[in-house]
Structure 1
Amino acid sequence: MHLHSAAATEEIATFSGRQECTRRPRILLGVSGSVAAIKVPILAKLLAEVADVQIITTDASRKMLREEDLCALNLPVKGNEDEWHAWKEVGDPVLHIELRRWADCLLIAPLSANTLAKVAQGFCDNLLTCVVRAWDFGKPLLVAPAMNTFMWDSPFTSRHLGTLNELGATVIPPVSKKLACGDVGNGAMASPDVIAEAAILAVSKCLPKQ
């Protein structure tokens, strides 16, 4: 699978050829605990075609991801345990702050109902939510929700997404299909190529110039 839309193709050419860009874009890919996390390796490969990528996992997402698939990506993968292993004393770097400084764009895909509720209310109880709490909203934040139709239709979901919209986040809408539970309805994560194209188009607007 490769990026194939005209807009994405143009952006890839731009990244590859324009002289004023000082480096490749940097994308943080946050992964929360939805069964759609099984699509993360495909998404990460698409992003890595044109960007430097680091992955942040929640504990719940690791239940959906195979370690061998993550290792095969050959990309940095950070989790909750890394937050404290990197810090020993005052003056040491704090991982969620360093990741926030490094990234040009934060993409959370999939965004579970639980993580949506957390970030909309400012919770910072794991590495991913700490990055969101510290995020510079002058940079792109994109989310790709993935949840059961009943959860997607909940008034809590529309309220929490409204909060993210007010902060300037871009919501990549889910699609209607047969879900992991067997139900058919809205709430399935958008396809990896659609998500990757949205992230690349967003980050292209904030690349550093010479």
Structure 2
Amino acid sequence: MFVAENERRPHNTHVLLITTGSVASIKAPLIVQELLSYHNVRVEVVATKASLAFFKKEDVEHAGARVWTDEDEWSGTFNIGDPILHIELRRWADVVLVAPCSANTLSKIAQGLCDNLVTSLMRALAPTTPTYIFPAMNTLMYEHPLTAEHVRIVKDIVHYNVVGPIGKNLACGDVGIGAMTEWKDVVKIVVDKFHLFRSE
């Protein structure tokens, strides 16, 4: 059972990485491994079911982080006062990275849906928690007029930081804007924000 006050460590930076249904989720183990190469960094990963098509939970766990999914949220034996996973994870986090953020999850965040662990957690975040959204989708999905509206809501109303996407050869074979920001640049945002230095 995950309880934030038991899991937080003094003088540590607690990074919550959220993965969603984009092929860029394949980078999750690399992001975790790189973040954990810095001094006093702890990482937890929250994965949508769709994102697990692109990486193995074991690879993230081997890198040093746990992976939380919808199945971990409710045990069927909940009692009033028991810890609630999406609340405990948001209490734990110093920074949240949605990397990658699929068109589907972006739409859900913008509309305030709470139909899985990820979207419930996002809806429960305190406005003071630094949150970064890294869109990743096909070019035509990104250029769809609804995507522009979802990005506007996420930036201007919810006040999350939206980074990317970038242009490159996409996994589907198309060429254009839509790829997630390079994974090393995702890590660099955290390193720079929290003035991290590598472990010796």
The TM tier, using the shorter chain, reads 0.7 to 0.9
Runs in 1 of length 4+ with deviation above 4 angstroms? none
Structure 2 residue identity aligned to 1:110: P
* Match for residue 67 of structure 1 among 57, 60, 77: 57
- Quote the RMSD (CA, aligned, Å): 1.7
Of residues 161, 164, 174, the one that matches 1:173 is 164
TM-score normalised to the size of structure 2? 0.87
- Which of 36, 53, 62 matches 1:48? 36
1:82 matches 2:72? yes
Normalising by structure 1, we get a TM-score of 0.83
Q: Which moved more, 1:40-49 or 1:28-37?
A: 40-49
Deviations 1:53-92 (A, max 9, x none): 1000001011111233123122121100000128621111
User: Residue 85 of structure 1: SS of its match in structure 2?
Assistant: coil
Distance in 2 (alpha carbons) for counterparts of 1:147 and 1:135: 24
SS at match of 2:43: strand
What's the CA shift for 1:188? 0.6
Q: Quick one: which amino acid aligns to residue 80 of structure 2?
A: V
Contact 1:86 1:92 in 2 (8 A): no
Pair 1:118-2:85 in alignment: no
Corresponding residue number in structure 2 for 1:149:
139
Offset at residue 142 of structure 1 (A):
0.2
Structure 1 unaligned runs (5+)?
A: 1-20, 206-210
What per-residue deviation string (whole Å, max 9, x for no partner) do you get for residues 9-45 of structure 1? xxxxxxxxxxxx9411111100001011111111111
Deviation at 1:134, TM superposition (A): 0.3
Check 1:94–1:41 CA distance in 2 against 1; reply closer, same or farther (3 A cut): same
Unpaired runs of at least 5, structure 2: 1-8, 196-200
**Structure 1 position 199, deviation (Å):** 2.8
Of 143, 163, 186, which aligns to 2:177?
186
Please list, as runs of the form range in 1=range in 2, the aligned pairs for 1:187-206 lying within 5 A after superposition. Answer: 187-202=178-193, 204=194
Deviation string 1:121-148 (CA, Å, 9 cap, x unpaired) is 1101111111100001111010111000
- Structure 1 residues 87, 62: closer, same or farther in 2, change over 3 A? farther
Contact 1:86-1:95 within 8 A present in 2 as well: no
Bigger relative contact order (CA 8 A; separation at least 6): 1
